[in-house]
Amino acid sequence: MQVKEILNQKGRDVFSVKPEDTVYNAIAKMAEYNIGALLVVEAGKLVGIISERDYRNKVILKGRTSKTTTVEEIMTEKVIRVNPTDSVNLCMQLMTDKKIRHLPVVDDEKIVGVISIGDVVKTVIATQKVEINSLRDYIGGGYPG
C-alpha cells in the first residue's frame, strides 16, 4: 500500500503555523484540532515541524514561556518527509528509526498531506485483516476451483 491510499482514506487536511507565530498559538491550534504536530510553512514552503515533544523539550523543560517563544525558535528544521507513492512499510521504518510520529507528504515540493503513526498502524491492521480473511476463505474452500 502507498501513502496516497492513506491520504485518500483520511483526507488531505494540512494544519500549519508560520515561523513567527507564538508557541502558545501553535499549541492552542493543536488542541483545537486534537493533533500532535503542525507543519511550519512560510510562503507556501515547508520549513519545519513543531510537535508536542518540541514543546515539552524546548519550552517547558527549558523554563521558557509559550507566549513569548516563537515557533521558529523550537521547530524541527530538518523535516523527514515522504511522497505519495512511498510505501507504508517505508513510513513505518522511518518513524521507528527516527522516533517520529508525523510525516509530511510532499509531491514535487507541494505539501499534499500529513500522516501519523496512528494512520500507518490503522492501515497495516486493516491490510492484515483482509489478508487473514482471504487465507481463511482459501483454507475453508471459499474460492471457486
Decide if 50 contacts 77 (C-beta within 8 A): no
What is this structure's pTM?
0.85
Rounded Cα distance between 20 and 65, Å, is: 15
Q: Among candidates 50, 37, 61, 54, which has minimal Cα distance to 116? A: 37
Residues 25, 27, 30, 32, CA torsion sign: negative
What domains appear along the chain, each with residue ranges and CATH number?
A: 3-139 (3.10.580.10)
Rounded Cα distance between 119 and 106, Å, is: 17
Considering only residues 142 and 29, tell me which one the structure prediction assigns the higher pLDDT. 29
For the stretch 22-75, pLDDT in tens is 999 999 999 999 999 999 999 999 999 999 999 999 999 999 999 999 999 999
Residues comprising the chain, all counted? 145
Cell of residue 98, nine digits = 527516527
